[in-house]
């Protein structure tokens, strides 16, 4: 196992839940074994969709005993950091293309008591990590183009995940490597083998009759792949 890889974490995406029953859905998926609750925030500017804001985060927080992981697909970002921190978020990720000063926003997230992640779109070059990786708590690899749920995983994401894993290992810090987009039981092992340790899944979990069974299945497949020798990954 690679030395800096974190424990496997499954993060169901609330975007795929029944929005008429968000409190119940949140409680159910947490009871089923979720490690994080992934909260997709879209603004119809940075991405072509509109989802939820801080008030919804605050509303589901009492039903959520696990950390809330907010992914800001918005422009601007800065004003939402304080609002989501106040609403109960523990992790906040953003896209470098959406801000003028990446390092400053990372610091702003930390100032509000949250852990900071940087989200990379499929076409975002890894060079954006060159001067900020040491300040991050998580790198989020988008394995689809952001803006819509239910998309298919982009296979070209796998070498990108592996390259980021190498950077994290070289740095030697416990930085989570999250993957979001089309992740499901059928491909989670390949994603884990590439180096990811945190897996966002929407319809693969919320669209199924037994949340606990899917989460347990994904976790088992990811753990097995992560435990394999690096040269076998």
How many Å apart are CA 187 and CA 96, to the nearest integer? 27
Residue found under tokens 């070209």: 156
Residue 88, annotated ligand binder?
no
How many Å apart are CA 106 and CA 226, to the nearest integer? 28
Catalytic: which of 35, 43, 137, 180?
A: 180
DSSP letters along 156-179, please? Answer: THHHHHHHHHHHHHHHT---EEEE
Tokens of residue 150, six digits? 């239910």
Residue 143, annotated ligand binder?
no
Residue 182, annotated ligand binder?
yes
Residue 94, annotated ligand binder?
no
Residue 150, annotated ligand binder?
yes
Quickly count: other Cβ atoms within 10 Å of residue 203's Cβ: 16
Residue 53, annotated ligand binder?
no
Please provide residue 173's backbone torsions phi and psi, each rounded to the nearest 5 degrees. -110, 155
130 counts as catalytic: no
| Residue 221 CB partners (closer than 8 Å, separation 6+) | 185, 188, 189, 192
How many Å apart are CA 209 and CA 68, to the nearest integer? 23
169 counts as catalytic: no
Catalytic: which of 40, 43, 137, 197?
A: 40
Query: By the 8 A CB rule, do 137 and 92 touch?
Result: no
Tokens of residue 181, six digits? 């987009």
Residue 148, annotated ligand binder?
yes
- The size of the chain, in residues, is 233
Q: Would you list which residues are annotated within the binding site for a divalent metal cation?
A: 38, 40, 71, 180
Instruction: Give catalytic residues, as residue numbers.
Output: 40, 180
Q: Would you list which residues are annotated within the binding site for substrate?
A: 13, 71, 147-150, 180-182, 202-203
Q: Would you list which residues are annotated within the binding site?
A: 13, 38, 40, 71, 147-150, 180-182, 202-203
């Amino acid at each position: 196992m690679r030395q800096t890889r974190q424990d496997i974490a499954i993060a169901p995406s609330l975007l795929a839940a029944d929005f008429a029953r968000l409190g119940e859905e949140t409680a159910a998926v947490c009871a089923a074994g979720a490690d994080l609750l992934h909260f997709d925030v879209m603004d119809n500017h940075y991405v072509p969709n509109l989802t939820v804001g801080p008030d919804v985060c605050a509303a589901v927080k009492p039903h959520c005993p696990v950390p809330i992981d907010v992914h800001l697909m918005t422009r601007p970002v800065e004003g939402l950091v304080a609002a989501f921190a106040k609403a109960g978020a523990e992790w906040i990720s953003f896209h470098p293309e959406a801000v003028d000063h990446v390092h400053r926003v990372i610091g702003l997230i930390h100032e509000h008591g949250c852990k900071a992640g940087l989200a990379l779109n499929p076409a975002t070059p890894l060079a954006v990590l060159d001067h900020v990786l040491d300040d991050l708590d998580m790198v989020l690899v988008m394995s689809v183009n952001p803006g819509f749920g239910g998309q298919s995983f982009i296979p070209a994401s796998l070498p990108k995940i592996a390259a980021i894993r190498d950077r994290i290992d070289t740095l030697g810090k416990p930085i989570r490597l999250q993957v979001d987009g089309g992740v499901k039981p059928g491909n989670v092992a390949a994603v884990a083998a590439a180096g990811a340790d945190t897996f966002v899944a929407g319809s693969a979990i919320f669209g199924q009759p037994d949340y606990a069974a899917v989460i347990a299945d994904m976790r088992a497949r990811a753990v097995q792949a992560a435990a394999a020798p690096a040269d076998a990954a």
